[in-house]
Amino acid sequence: MAAQTENDEDDDVNPFATLLADDEHNEDKVNGCSVIQDGAAKLQKHLVRSINSMIVIRQLPSEGLSFQLWPAATTLVSLLDQYRCEPAKSPLSSTLSVLANDTNHSHLRILELGSGTGIVGIVAAATLGANVIVTDLPHVVPNLQFNADANAGVLASNGGAVSVAPLQWGHAEDVELIGRDFDLILASDVVYHNHLYDPLLQTLRLLLLGSDQKMAFVMAHLRRWKKESAFFKKAKKLFEVDILHTDNPCEGCRVGVIIYRFAGKG
Ligand SMILES: C[S@@+](CC[C@H](N)C(=O)[O-])C[C@H]1O[C@@H](n2cnc3c(N)ncnc32)[C@H](O)[C@@H]1O
């Protein structure tokens, strides 16, 4: 949730803008993105070509893995950008175009799980003009809110909106609070620790199989360990699992990021 300021004048100050203005001299280019180090915070500017806009994301690497941008997120961001430019040529086309036709709402409603920095949900909202809820563990929510607020202008000018909520996998009450009224669930790099496989599958089950609403789950995943096949084996018992896209492996990697789609069977 948005941090309350004691001084009303602070409401007009975008903390990102201040940091970016003050720290241009620390700017480096990494993989085509501008990265600005400001003490413990790493501010990364991503150009989203399809909307000719910069999305700015604050990472806090010293706070842990939830505060960093993971490689699979970058793939999903690129594909969303590409979909907006050339929907028919995009690997996301079969899913997104069908959803856009099927939904009764003027804006797609999207839920992101394990959002981390929130970049995927923010770019989805901006490129699809969607209403997105980005979620993660409670202690991650303040940084998610910071990043949503920092991109409020780009979101508004593209007809998208992002809200932030805690959602812990395996906690049915968190899903009850958020509801199941979504067209699409997104996630990136959420299959890593094996003790999280069952809670994540339980949440997906509640969302994808727990309502009449036809929803798809699109997940970007970079395989790191053999044990991950246990997650996909269990997932295939519950859902139809398709591969929408596979990235070429980046330098030094054996495999590339894979985009999966899960949907209810039948
Ligand atoms: C490897 S990070 C990926 C973050 C982001 N999606 C990305 O690709 O940059 C995994 C994310 O899942 C979240 N996570 C881990 N366990 C979770 C749980 N039980 N419930 C909800 N989120 C969880 C973490 O906090 C973290 O943000």
Per residue in 196-240, pLDDT (tens digit) is: 999 999 999 999 997 777 899 999 999 988 899 999 999 999 999
Of 190, 195, 219, 231, which is best to mutate to test ligand 1, by the most ligand atoms within 8 angstroms of its C-beta? 190
Looking at residue 27, what is its pLDDT? 53
User: Whole-angstrom Cα distance, residue 205 to residue 12?
Assistant: 42
Q: How far apart are the first and last CA of the chain?
A: 38
Closest ligand 1 atom to residue 112 Cα is 6
Q: Is the CB of 141 under 6 A from ligand 1?
A: no
Which residues, listed in sequence order, are joined to residue 161 by a DSSP beta bridge?
131
Domain residue spans of the chain: 63-264
Interior angle at CA 110, CA 135 and CA 12, nearest 5: 65
Segment (H or E) for 260: strand 258-264
Q: Is the CB of 220 under 6 A from ligand 1?
A: no
**Secondary structure of residue 107 in the 3-state scheme:** coil
Q: Is the CB of 114 under 6 A from ligand 1?
A: yes
Q: Is the CB of 190 under 6 A from ligand 1?
A: yes
Query: Which ranges of the chain have pLDDT less than 70?
Result: 1-33
pTM of the model: 0.89
Which top CATH class is 63-264?
alpha beta
User: Whole-angstrom Cα distance, residue 164 to residue 112?
Assistant: 10
Looking at residue 170, what is its pLDDT? 98
